[in-house]
A and B are shown apart, each in its own frame.
Chain A
Amino acid sequence: MKEQRQRSDAQTSEASVNAAADAVFQIRGVTKVYRMGEVEVHALKGVDLELYRGELVVLLGASGSGKSTLLNIIGGLDTPTEGTVVYQDHILTSADESELTRFRREHVGFVFQFYNLIPSLTALENVELITEIAESPISAKEALEMVGLSERIDHFPAQLSGGEQQRVAIARAVAKQPDVLLCDEPTGALDVTTGKLVLKVIEKVNRELGTTTAIITHNAAIAAMADRVIHIGSGRITEIIRNSEKKSPETLVW
C-alpha cells in the first residue's frame, strides 16, 4: 500500500515535469450505438479526443448531443460499441465490470447534477464514506474546508441548501485525490449565484490540486472558464477551442 502510494507520487511528479503535453485520456474512434427496441440510436459517431493532465475542459452541447454518453465512457460507467479509450496505462475498453469499478474507485471523482448525497449521512460522513475506501485521500474535514463548508459538517443533506449539497458532493469527489474529476451539469439544478459558487469551487480544486477536470453542460457561458472547450453535436466533436484567457467563474454571466 505504502509502496503503491510512493509509486503514484513518483508518477505525479514525473507527470508535472511533462506538464500539459501529457495526455491522461486517449480516445480513438469511439462510437456508441444504443438499441432501443427496434431502433438503433447512434449516440457517438467516431470521437477522437485527448484530455491532458491538469487541464479544465468544458464539453458543451445541446441535450441529446452525446456529451453525457462521452462522459460516461470516460468515467468507466459505459463501454463504447467501437473504438478505444486508454487511461494512462489502462485500456478501459477491454476492462470488465470489476476492473471498471476499481478504476472509478481509484481514479475518478464524480459530481452529479442532483448531488446524490446519502440522505442518512451527515456532510462529513458523506465525504468519509469515500475517504474510507480511497488509497491516499485528504482528510474529509480538509476537503469540506476546501469547498467552504467547515461550519456545516454535521448537517444532514436535508438540512443543507442545494448549493451546499453540491459543494459537499464536490468535496466527496475530490477527497480521494482523483486523477480526473467529472462533473455532469453541476449547476443544472442551481440558481445563478449558487451555481457560480459551485463553479468557483471546481475551479479552485482544478487549480490547487491540479486535477484534470471535465465539466459537461449545455450552458455556453460556462465555457469561458475552461482551458479548452469541446463542442459536441449529433455524436461528433464539431469544434475544439482553446481559450487564450480563462475567465474567473465570478465574472461569468448567464
Chain B
Amino acid sequence: MKPLNKKMVRDLWHLRGQVLATMLVVACGVASFVAMKSTYESLVESRDNYYSHYRFADVFAGLKRAPRSAAAEIGAIPGVAEVEARVVAKVTLDLSDLPEPAQGRLVSVPETGAGHLNSLFLLRGRLLEPGDRDEVVISGAFADANRLEPGDQVSAVLNGRLRRLRVVGVALSPEYIYEIRPGDIFPDNRRFGILWMNERAVASVFQMENAFNDVVLTLSPGAGEADVIEKLDRILEPYGGFGAYGRSDQLSHRFVANELSELQVFGTVIPVIFLGVTAFLLHLVLTRLVNVEREQIGLLKSFGYSNADIGLHYLQLSVLAIFGGIVIGIGLGWWTGRGMARLYGEFFHFPILDFSISFLIVVWSFVISLGAAAIGAIAAVRNAVSLPPAESMRPEPPANFHAGFIESTGFQQMLSTESRIAARNLARRPVKALLSAFGISLSIALLFIGFFFFDAIDRIVMVQFDLVQREDVEVGFNEPRPGRAALELAELPGVRRVEPYRVVSARLRFASRSRRVGLIGLSSEGELRRIVNDDLRIVNLPPEGIVLGSTLAESLGVAKGDIVTVEVTEGSRPVREVVIADVPRELLGLSAYMDIRALNRLMMEGGTVSGAFLSVDEDARAELYSKLKRTPAVSGVGLPKAALESFNETIAKTLGTMTWFLIGFACVIAFGVVYNGARIALAERGRELSSLRVLGFTNREIAKMLLGEQAALTLLAIPIGWVLGFATSWLVTRVVDAEIVRLPVVVSVETFIFSAGIVVIAAAVSGIIVARRIRHMDLIAVLKTRE
C-alpha cells in the first residue's frame, strides 16, 4: 500500500465517529432514493404491463340504453381499435357476516369468459362459464376483506329481485386497480366490490337483451382521444349517453396516477435533502482535517508531491468515507422499497407487483452520492492545494475575533460569558453556522411534512365526517323515483329524519371549456348533508342558481356571478343557462350543487328524488339494514361511519408506518449535523476548553460552553425548519390532484411541537455523546502544546 493510502485509512479510522455519522446520512439519502425511485419504476412497469396485457380501455362511457347495433357504429369511428359494449349496474349485496348492506358494481362479461377489454386476471377459482345465470367472479380486495372464496354464496338485489349468486372465482381487472366507490376518497373494500357476471345473465335480469348501457374502447395508435370522445358522445346522445371520458378521468387510473406523481416528487425531494446534508457534513469534516494536517500537507509538498496528488488524496478520502454509506443505502433502499411496494399492493391491486431495482438506479445512486461528496470536498481540497508549503508548515494563526455585529448592538451585555463565547463563535463563521442550522432545520422540515399529512387528513376526516356527511345512512334508488319514495323511507325502522336528494349527470360548459359532473340537488334547509367551505363555514344553498366547488370553477375558468350552460345528459336532457351563485372552497371532488326544487324545475319533473340521507336510531340499525338489503328500489347504501372505521384500519396504519420512517430519517440528519458540529468544535476548541478545566471549571460547565453553540444552532433551526416544512407542505398540496382532494393547508400545534421536539431530543442525545469526551481531555498536554 502506498504511504499516502495508509495515511488515508488511518485518517478515516481516526475520524470514524464523524465518518459514521456522515455515512448514515448518505445511507438514508441513497435508501430513500432507491426505495422511492424503484417503487415508482416498479409501479409504473407493473401498471403498464397490466394495462397492455389485459387491454385496459382508453375511453369510457355510460349511457341509458342503446341497441347492440350502436356498438358497430362506435367501432367505425376513425381511431377506435376495439369496442366492448356491456351492461353495468349498481346492486345491493347481503353478506352473511356483514350487518349492513354492501354495494356492488355488477359488470357484464362476454360469453368468452374474461372479457376482451379490461379483461380479468384470475386469482382463485375459475372464470365464468357460458350460460350459467347465477355465477359471479368477484374482485380480489372485496373477496379478501369479506373472506369470500370460490364456492361461497352472496345474496344480491338485482333489478328489484333478490338473487343468490355463486362465487366461482376471484379476479382482478385493470379497470379497478384502486377499488373505490365513485364519490369516495378512501377505499372501503368491506362494503364495496366488483362482480363480473355473464353478459346474457345480466342482460336478462336487467332487460338489456341485445342492448348495452356502458361502453369501453381502445384507440388505435396515433388516434386523437378528444376527437373520438366527441364522436362517441354524438353517437350516444340519442341513447342517453352520460358523456364519454378518457383514462385521465377514469377513477382507478386517476388515483394511481396521482399516487405515482406524489411518489416521484418525494423520491426527488427527500434524497436531495439528504445528499445536501451529506455534502455539508463532508465539507465540515474535511475542512477540519485539512486544517489539522496543514503541516503534513506542507511537508508532502516540500517533498515534491504535486497539488494534484494532494487534491486527489483528500477527494479519495471523502469518497471512501461515504462509499460504505452508498452500499448500505442500496441494501436499505431495497428492503424499504420492497416494504413500500407491499404496502402499495394493499391498495393497488396488480396481478404481479414485482419490486426490482434497476441497474440504472444503482448507477445513479453512486453518481449522485459521489457528486455530493465531491461538492462537499471541493472547498477543503482547494484550501489544501492552495497552501504554499512554507506557510502551511507554520501553525494556523490564532482564531481571529473582533468586536463585531453583536458588540455593536450592546446585546452582549445581556449574555452570560458562556453565551457570549457561543455567540461569537457562531458570528465568526456565519456561513458555517447558517449551513449547520439549515441542515438541522431540514430534519425538522422532514418531520413537519410527515405530521402535516396527519393534520391534513385529520382535517379532511373531520370536515367530511363531522360537517359534510352527517347522515347515518345514505340510500340510493336504482332509478329516479317520485318524492313519496323518500317519505316511505321514513316508515322504515329507526329512521328519525329523511332528507331526499337528486343527482343528475350533466355537462357544464363555459366558453370553450366543459366538465362532466354529477349535479346534486340538496334540500336548502337540510342538515344531514351540507356544503362546507375550507374555513369550516357552512355554505347555504340559494333557492336559485348553481353552486360550484372552487376546483371545478377553476377548471372551467368561472367565478361567482358567471353564467354556465348546464347540459343534462339524462332524462329529457334539458339545456339551461344557470347563474353561479357561490364558489365555496370544498376539500373533496368536483361538485356542483343546486337546491333540489330548482333542480327539479330545471329537469321539468315533479318532486323526483334519486335517494335520501337518513338519520337513524342507534338501536334500530340492525333491523333497518336487513330491511334495506331486501328493498328492491334500493341500489346502494352508504355508511359514512363504517367507511371512517375502515379508513382508520387501513390508511391510517399505513401513514403511521411512513411517519416512523420519517422520524428515523430526521433523527439521522439531526444527529449527524449536531454530532459532527460538536465533534469539530471540540477538536478546534479542545485546548481552550482544557485550559478552562485546568482553571477549575467542571466538566458540566465546559459541556455547557461547548454545546451552547450547538444548542443555539438547534434553536435557530426550529423556526427555519418550520418555515421550510410549511412551504414544502404547501407545495405538496399543490402536487396532489386537487380534483381528487384539495389537501387543506392546516397545521396543528402538535406538528410544530413534535417536529421541533424530536429533533431537539436527537440533537441533545448527540450532544451528550460528544460531551462525554470532555472527561477524556488531556489537561496536561494543553499546558505544553500550542495546537
Contact = CB atoms under 8 A, between A and B. Distances in A.
B379 interface: no
A132 B784 CA distance: 26
B423 to A, nearest CB: 8
Contacts of B420: 120-121, 125
A157 B672 CA distance: 32
Interface in A29-47: none
A171 interface: no
Nearest to B427: A120
Given A77-B694, A104-B694, A118 B688 contact: yes
A120 B706 CA distance: 13
A120 B695 contact: no
Contacts of B780: 68, 72, 77-78
A168 to B, nearest CB: 13
Given A154-B403, A156-B401, A113 B783 contact: yes
Nearest to B693: A101
B691 A120 contact: no
Interface string A204-222: 0000000000000000000
A112 B783 contact: yes
A132 B403 CA distance: 22
B782 A116 contact: yes
A119 interface: yes
B207 interface: no
Contacts of A104: 694-696
B428 A120 contact: yes
A154 B399 CA distance: 16
Contact of A68 (B424, B694, B783, B785): B783
Interface in A89-140: 98, 101-106, 108, 110, 112-114, 116, 118-122, 125, 128-130, 132-133
21 contacts: A68-B783, A103-B696, A104-B694, A105-B695, A108-B696, A112-B694, A114-B785, A118-B688, A119-B401, A119-B688, A120-B421, A120-B425, A122-B403, A133-B697, A156-B402, A156-B403, A158-B397, A158-B401, A158-B402, A173-B695, A184-B783
B425 to A, nearest CB: 5
A248 interface: no
A188 to B, nearest CB: 10
B599 to A, nearest CB: 75
A101 B696 contact: yes
Given A112-B691, A120-B424, A102 B696 contact: yes
A132 B398 CA distance: 25
Which of A101, A103, A106, A132: most chain B Cβ within 10 A? Answer: A101
A238 to B, nearest CB: 23
B428 A98 contact: no
Nearest to A103: B696
Interface in B682-706: 687-688, 691-699, 701
A243 interface: no
B786 interface: yes
State the 6 A-B residue pairs at the shortest beta-carbon distance, nearest first: A105-B696, A116-B691, A104-B696, A120-B424, A119-B399, A156-B401
A122 B786 CA distance: 20
A12 interface: no
Contacts of B698: 98, 101, 105
Interface of A: 68, 72, 75, 77-78, 98, 101-106, 108, 110, 112-114, 116, 118-122, 125, 128-130, 132-133, 154, 156-159, 172-173, 184
B779 interface: yes
A135 B194 CA distance: 84
B417 interface: yes
A158 B399 contact: yes
A159 B785 CA distance: 21
Interface in B639-696: 687-688, 691-696
Interface residues of B, number: 32
Contacts of B691: 112, 116, 118
A116 B696 contact: no
Interface in B564-587: none
Interface string B408-439: 00000000010011001100100000000000
Contacts of B694: 75, 77, 104, 110, 112, 116
Interface string B478-503: 00000000000000000000000000
Contacts of B701: 133
A16 to B, nearest CB: 25
Interface in B763-787: 779-780, 782-786
B696 A133 contact: yes
B696 A121 contact: no
B785 to A, nearest CB: 8
Contacts of B398: 119, 157-158
A106 B696 CA distance: 8
Contacts of B403: 122, 154, 156
Contacts of A119: 398-401, 688
Nearest to A129: B417
Contacts of B424: 120-121
Contacts of A77: 694, 779-780, 783
Contact of B695 (A78, A110, A114): A110
Contacts of A103: 696
Contacts of B782: 112, 116
Contacts of B786: 114
A105 B698 CA distance: 9
A143 to B, nearest CB: 14
B695 A158 contact: no
Nearest to A159: B402
Nearest to A104: B696
B315 to A, nearest CB: 31
Contacts of A121: 417, 420-421, 424
A181 to B, nearest CB: 12
A189 to B, nearest CB: 8
Given A72-B783, A118-B421, 4 more contacts: A119-B400, A119-B401, A129-B692, A158-B402
Which of B401, B697, B698: most chain A Cβ within 10 A? Answer: B401
Interface string B379-419: 00000000000000000011111110000000000000100
Contacts of A133: 696-697, 701
A98 B698 CA distance: 7
B696 A120 contact: no
Given A101-B698, A105-B697, A110-B694, A120 B401 contact: yes
Contacts of B425: 120
A133 B783 CA distance: 21
Contacts of B687: 116
A116 B402 contact: no
A118 B697 CA distance: 13
A75 to B, nearest CB: 8
A130 B401 contact: no
A61 to B, nearest CB: 15
A158 B403 CA distance: 11
Nearest to B426: A120
A75 B693 CA distance: 12
A172 B692 CA distance: 11
Contacts of B397: 158
A116 to B, nearest CB: 4
A106 B779 CA distance: 18
A120 B425 CA distance: 7
Contacts of A128: 417
A116 B786 CA distance: 9
Contacts of A159: 402
Contact of B784 (A113, A125, A154): A113
Contacts of A184: 783-784
Contacts of A132: 417
